Amino acid sequence: MTTNPMLTIDGLQYSNWSREIFEQMREGGVNAVHATLVYHENTRETLSRFGDWHRRFEQHADLIMPVYEPADIERARDSNRVGVFFGAQNCSPIEDDIDMVAVMRRLGLLIMQLTYNNQSLLATGCYEANDPGITRFGRQVIEEMNRVGMIIDMSHSSERSTLEAIELSRRPVIISHANPASFHPAKRNKSDEVLKALADSGGLLGFSVYPFHLKDGPDCTLESFCNMVADTAELMGVDHIGIGTDLCQGQPQSVLDWMRNGRWSKEMDFGEGNKSNAGWPAPLEWFRDNRDFPNLISGLRQKGFAVTDIEKIMGRNWLHQLTQGTPAES
């Protein structure tokens, strides 16, 4: 069914999940995916998103299975299914309640961003004008996330908050989906200083193929993308990079509006777009959907990466992050 025998883990998607997409994942050789569970949903609403996934696991038990611990990824692979592990793009699932960290972890939330673009109760987002760093509550939550084995993701956070989170956390921090700002300057892309600190912490950067994060946008070539990967491997080390496509396959405009606006604004916020470019960006030619993961492997081969390094980038580094970052509960 797949022409991609390499362990492949996508470090972020928020697709409009369907049987068709799960089949495409298998076709593209995706063994596991970090699925965004929520953007702005509160604690109660987050439970309903878990409910949606329980239904999917029941209805598509032949194609997908939940990943509650890293070993489930191997189980998924052995049974020719896609393992799904969960992350929140914001800290809204825990509201103002430190106890909800352990509750969400028990439910299967393995990863949580401390903020999504805006200031949160924990940290500052990358769209804010000022970044006062990690808050008092944020320090408590970082310690609790470390304790229960929930990985800290700073993809949508700002510079100072990210550096402080890396400093405060006893465990490696990740940026599941972003690119180096040196490749393409965007609010969502990361400085060399952040990327080096991330690597020093033992963490990981997942490269995004979301056109707003790429040089030349939807026209970015596979060669250009792979040059960026090579430059970043140079900067961070090949053990600290992976893939986090940020693929939002089949999502309607209403979902993009929810991601950008949640309940926080009465005016329309256009995020990385603008009023005359408010919609989803056109997809890359060489990465239209989950069937195109083999193109990434080809591109990295073309660029001259060794097979063992490509294996790390395509999935092994992600598996290592999960293994060290989400130990089984004691």
Q: Which residues bind its own copies (CB under 8 A)?
A: 43-44, 47-48, 50-52, 54-55, 61, 97, 99-100, 102-103, 106-108, 330
Torsion 191-193-198-199 (CA) sign: positive
- 132: which residues sit within 8 A by CB, 6+ positions away? 124, 160
Distance CA 250, CA 271 (A): 19
CB of 276 to its own copies, least distance (A): 40
Distance CA 166, CA 101 (A): 19
> By C-beta, is 95 or 193 nearer to its own copies?
95
Distance CA 297, CA 301 (A): 6
Q: How far apart are the first and last CA of the chain?
A: 39
> By C-beta, is 130 or 330 nearer to its own copies?
330
CB of 61 to its own copies, least distance (A): 8
Distance CA 219, CA 297 (A): 19
**34: which strand partners?**
85
Distance CA 308, CA 311 (A): 5
Rounded (10°) angle between helices 136-148 and 159-168 = 50
Burial readout 194-217 (b: 16 or more C-beta within 10 A, e: otherwise): bbebbbebbbbbbbbbbbbbbbee
What token pair was written down for 173? 């921090």
CB of 99 to its own copies, least distance (A): 3
CB of 216 to its own copies, least distance (A): 43
What token pair was written down for 149? 């084995």
> By C-beta, is 71 or 102 nearer to its own copies?
102
CB of 35 to its own copies, least distance (A): 16
> By C-beta, is 59 or 277 nearer to its own copies?
59
CB of 318 to its own copies, least distance (A): 24
Task: Compute, in degrees rounded to 10, the torsion defined by CA atoms 102, 107, 108, 110.
Answer: -20
The position carrying tokens 């914001």 is: 90
> By C-beta, is 290 or 326 nearer to its own copies?
326
> By C-beta, is 1 or 328 nearer to its own copies?
328
CB of 255 to its own copies, least distance (A): 20
> By C-beta, is 50 or 183 nearer to its own copies?
50
> By C-beta, is 61 or 306 nearer to its own copies?
61
**Strand 174-178 to strand 32-38: parallel, antiparallel, or no bridges (unpaired)?**
unpaired
CB of 291 to its own copies, least distance (A): 29
